[in-house]
Amino acid sequence: MKIAFLGLGDIGHLMASHLARDPFDLVVWNRTALKSEDFARTHKARVAATPADAVRDAAVVITCLPSSIEVEAVLHGENGMLDALRKGAVLVDCTSGDPPTSRSIAAELGGRGVEFIDAPVSGGTIAAKAGSLTVMWGGETTVFDRVRPVIEAFGKKIVHAGPVGSGDALKAVNNALLAVHILSAAEGLAILVKAGVDPKVALDVINASSGRSNSSENLIPQRVLTRAFPRTFRLALLEKDIGIAAVMADDLDARTPLLSLTAERFHEARERLGEEADHVEAVKMVEQENGIEIK
């Protein structure tokens, strides 16, 4: 089975590594060609010069890009893949995209005899390396069954969210909650530090009580208390995801003031900390505003 994988970023190159083996015949493409060449030197894969070259004759095409904007670009841009996709192929978009664009792409491809599934992933670089990502997908079950062996190569918990766009919707809300938890934990600990409570002691209690979250149990102890702040997932991408959730809320006339406020705060954090900051570094904004460090 020929697989084309487009997008070898922090998560994408780890996902693609699980497809660089039999029974798959893997072709890779990345906007920065050096990444594709580096990948092919260490994995069983061929490098394509353009998106069109990558997808030609591929049964399954996987895109793992920063946003739906980039997916549209590799479809319709110069040397784009739209006209090269073979009839009967399936495009699996693992981008954390926006539902309206995914539905639009699905409709366009459907008119050409190409199937589409939105299948964003969660679990970060650790799960991507282990091949144990959570995959939330939207689309038709009959289509998914054709690509199941491919997705099972890098996914462990695989969940059907609903029709096309549902996977993107679920991923956006999941990441919106992540953003809320990071800021709420940081603000709570800022209060406690100013009150003279050791944040290690505070987290010991919080994580044995009802206030716990992945942020308090893992992210803050491992990244904030240590001051390590490893760059595993850009803050700018999390801002994009919570922005998708906020737009969805507006479109659906849902009242979500907390998510809207968090979207504003992450926009502020990106402007303060820059495009390359990790998502957990949003804690630094809270620290700066309160004149403390959580350590």
What are the mean pLDDT values of the chain's consecutive 10-residue runs (295 residues total)? 96 98 97 96 97 98 97 96 97 97 98 98 94 98 97 98 98 98 98 98 98 97 97 94 96 96 97 97 98 98
Answer yes or no: are the C-beta atoms of 219 and 73 closer than 8 Å.
no
Calculate ∠ Cα 37-39-44, nearest 5°.
105
Cα–Cα dist 168/285, whole Å: 28
Count Cβ atoms below 10 Å from residue 113 Cβ, excluding itself: 11
Count Cβ atoms below 10 Å from residue 253 Cβ, excluding itself: 6
Answer yes or no: are the C-beta atoms of 224 and 280 closer than 8 Å.
yes
Structure token digits, residue 39:
């990948």
pLDDT computed for residue 234 by the predictor = 94
- The pTM for the full model equals 0.94
- H or E segment and range at residue 52: helix 51-55
Calculate ∠ Cα 89-81-239, nearest 5°.
100
Listed in order, strand segments (DSSP E) in 72-132 are: 90-93, 115-118, 121-122
The 3-state DSSP class for residue 160 equals strand
Q: DSSP H helical segments within 153-256, as ranges?
A: 166-194, 199-206, 214, 235-251
pLDDT computed for residue 110 by the predictor = 98
Answer yes or no: are the C-beta atoms of 256 and 264 closer than 8 Å.
no
Answer yes or no: are the C-beta atoms of 12 and 64 closer than 8 Å.
yes
- Cα of 135 vs its chain's centroid, Å: 10
Answer yes or no: are the C-beta atoms of 29 and 70 closer than 8 Å.
no
Cα–Cα dist 101/93, whole Å: 11
Count Cβ atoms below 10 Å from residue 44 Cβ, excluding itself: 13
Residue in the structure block whose two tokens are 């406020």: 261
Write down the catalytic residue from 2, 171, 240, 284: 171
- Any catalytic annotation for residue 200? no
Calculate ∠ Cα 139-64-166, nearest 5°.
25
List Cβ neighbours of 31 (8 Å cut-off, separation of 6 or more). Answer: none
Structure token digits, residue 289:
């505003």
DSSP secondary structure letter of residue 81:
S
Calculate ∠ Cα 11-187-10, nearest 5°.
5
Cα–Cα dist 97/71, whole Å: 9
List Cβ neighbours of 220 (8 Å cut-off, separation of 6 or more). Answer: 185, 186, 189, 199, 203, 280, 283, 294
